[in-house]
Structure 1
Amino acid sequence: MRIIRFLSDPYSPVLAAVTDDRRIYPLPYTDFLELVRTAERRGETPLMLLRQVLSSLEPLNRSYEELALLVPIEAPEVWACGVTYERSRDARNAESGGGEGGMTCYDKVYEAERPEIFFKSTAARTVGPHQPVYLRSDSSWQVPEPELGLVLDRNGRILGYTAGNDMSSRDIEGENPLYLPQAKIWRHSCSIGPSIRLAETVEDPYRFEISCRIYRGGRKVFEESATTGRMKRKMEELVSFLIRDNPIFDGTVLLTGTCIVPPDNFTLREGDRIEIEISGIGTLINYVKAPVPQY
């Protein structure tokens, strides 16, 4: 069972459930968190509540592809993890010129008890399906980072899973690790969606298949796939460090790191189409736009 948000008209967001046979049921809740809280008040799980609600509803007479999808949740904060996969560690070493003789900071964090966790985005900076992600004006080496996102409540409980794009300026981070906030945070540098997969419907979150495809001028210029089973750290471990002495909000999203990195000679360009697909969640599609002029 997946949860989506879409526009029924230019001003009316609708929360809906998508069943495994792709039938879409508009729900009587304003957002995903209201669904979760309603289930809690009734002593039920979200899936139990949905099964009851859907039994009295008619599916929408529209296909999934026809909907104007929104971010499935307006996350008050998005956090992200780095170097949780070996591929990510190797990429960080390559962009910084390290990795030859001696331990780099990326080698150390890969082996350390404490993971790398950083602030990524706010609701105002985060976009959803088919919305543009922007390039950064002072970077010449930028890539998408396809990641599994955990939708959390304030106690760190995993409510669901979504797909995320943790856009990254590899040259800025490679110049100096202290530049990480600038390499990660700028206008529309984060996207999530297209849906939230209810956590209780996922038997094993380490069996998600993640794929990334990039098209340029209608031609596919990059494609790679991997699985969350290659993650070095457990998801609960990452959450435990996020909430350690750090209050979070209901609806916070934690991106769990990337295992897919385009070649070192690749950088995004305006007009590129990025597709990030995660099994059981869907395909998050965004187009790349040039930086917005600053006045």
Structure 2
Amino acid sequence: MLVGRVWRAGKPAGPSVVAIRSDGVFDLSATVPTMADLCNAPDPTGLARNTPGERIGALQDVIGDLLAPVDLQALKAAGVTFAVSLLERLIEEHAKGDPARAEQVRGELNSIIGADVSAIKPGSPEAEALKKTLMARGAWSPYLEVGIGPYAEIFTKAPPMAAVGYGAEIGIRPDSDWNNPEPEVTLIVSAKGRIVGATLGNDVNLRDIEGRSALLLGIAKDNNASCALGPFIRLFDATFSLDDVRRAKVDLEVTGPDQFRLRGSSDLSKISRDPTDLVAQAMSAHQYPDGMALMTGTLFAPTEPRKPGGTGFTHMVGDLVSIRSPKLGTLTNKVAHCDRVPPWTFGTGALMRNLAARGLLR
């Protein structure tokens, strides 16, 4: 059961919640004006499946009008949820954001840590013992705290309504020289904390900026068009469940205007914290009345040099980024500088006024 959002032409034009069916794309907005309404329903799958809706065409007719498949939901992300991503964050921190020092630091950290971090359960007695050892050696870090400590790193990736969808440009800051895509499974969570489905996400990361200081996370993560979600939400039903999410494999391919090609993958079965734990921590002391989209982190951290003799991977304007997973489809975006992509102007207030003008608010 696939649902999404499409920008429909008309007077006035505006976004519509749609269901993707074998016989076409159906507008459900007369029943559920926002995706938050649908995902907060007692039975989102049944509502999406059984609402007749207005047929607006075949999928190929609307593919160019797809939007991010969430609207009012909070856009959250979990970081340092894989051992590989933990090590890469440590490398960024110790290299002070300088990609030229990354390989040297990588070797130094491997000798200092001296343990298979992937085998350590966060918050366990073994994790606490490793923490004490590393602190005694002066090697403790905020990234280790969230990587193997009891509390997960949960941050706001972008404001609601700011994510871009399939086919849109995705943004990096022009003053970043070391950055990469982060292909992730994204959980769709109701206001009550129930995971109702999943989609794909790209949690773009500016490694040089975050590496200078963990306190620069907001600048490194939340920029215009730096969050892509889509193409659709796959709702849970008899054919797709949370166990499918736990086993999901996500492949990534970057094809550059310089003929460079990068491939990688992320395997959610290797995550250090279960998706239900991440949701519980995200909602432990906060309410999200419109629900949330929670990006779960990635195993993928590219280190392959982009140029002969180079110091590692970084994006180039014009890169085509494709994130694929067999049960969630393909999310494709082209990289641009965030000050050159279309500005974000359609926020929550604009959505409410638009729905009211279309007679969809009750």
TM-score range, shorter chain: 0.7 to 0.9
* Alpha-carbon distance between aligned partners in 2 of 1:12 and 1:109, rounded to the nearest angstrom: 40
Equivalent of residue 290 in structure 2, options 242, 250, 253 = 250
Displacement of 1:143 in angstroms is: 0.8
Change in Cα spacing, 1:228 to 1:4, as seen in structure 2 (3 Å) is: same
Report the TM-score, using the length of structure 2 for normalisation.
Answer: 0.72
Pair 1:50–1:66, CA change in 2 (3 A): closer
Preserved CA contact (<8 Å) 2:186 2:201: yes
Q: Are residue 13 (structure 1) and residue 10 (structure 2) matched? A: no
Q: How far off is 1:220 after superposition? A: 5.4
Correspondence for 1:53 among 46, 51, 54: 51
The alignment status of 1:183 with 2:220, answered yes or no, reads yes
8 Å contact from structure 1 (residues 125, 186) kept in 2: no
Structure 1's 220 and 210: CA in aligned 2 closer, same or farther, altered over 3 A? Answer: farther
Query: CA contact under 8 A between 2:166 and 2:332: conserved in structure 1?
Result: yes
Over 3 Å counting, the alpha-carbon distance change for 1:211 and 1:104 in structure 2 is: farther
Counterpart for residue 275 of structure 2? 235
Q: TM-score, normalised by structure 1?
A: 0.87
Aligned residue among 226, 231, 240 for 1:202: 240
Q: Give the drift of 1:63.
A: 2.7
Match of 1:26 in 2: 27
1:190 positional shift:
1.0
Counterpart-to-counterpart distance in 2, 1:76 and 1:48: 20
Match of 2:352 in 1: none
Match of 1:125 among 162, 175, 187: 162
Q: Out of 86, 90, 93, which is 1:89 matched to?
A: 86
Provide the residue aligned with 1:275 in structure 2: 322
Gaps of 5+ in 1: none
Over the residues paired in the alignment, what is the CA RMSD in angstroms?
2.5
Letter in 2 for 1:107: L
Deviation at residue 199 of structure 1 after TM alignment: 2.7
> Is 2:35–2:71's contact at 8 Å kept on the other side of the alignment?
no
CA drift of 1:67 comes to 4.2
1:172 paired residue among 189, 193, 209: 209
Q: Which structure has the larger Rg?
A: 2
Aligned identity (percent) is 30
Query: Which residue of the other structure, out of 225, 240, 254, is the alignment partner of 1:214?
Result: 254
Return the offset for 1:187. 1.7
Deviations 1:6-55 (A, max 9, x none): 12327232322224x58433334323233345x53xxxx2222333335x
Tell me by how many angstroms 1:266 deviates.
Answer: 0.7
What is the rounded CA distance, in whole Å, between the counterparts of 1:177 and 1:58 in structure 2? 48
Q: What's the CA shift for 1:84? A: 0.6
Tell me if the contact between 1:213 and 1:220 (Cα under 8 Å) persists in the aligned partners: no
Give the equivalent residue in structure 2 for 1:115: 152
| Deviation at residue 91 of structure 1 after TM alignment | 1.4
Higher strand share: 1
Instruction: Determine if contact 1:7/1:68 at 8 Å carries over to the other structure.
Output: yes
Shift in Å, 1:104? 3.8
What is the SS of the residue equivalent to 2:263?
strand
1:287 equivalenced with 2:284 (yes/no): no
CA distance in 1, matches of 2:23, 2:230: 16
Q: What is the CA–CA distance in structure 2 between the aligned matches of 1:261 and 1:217, rounded to whole Å?
A: 21
Give the unaligned 5+ runs of structure 2: 95-104, 113-133, 305-311, 341-362
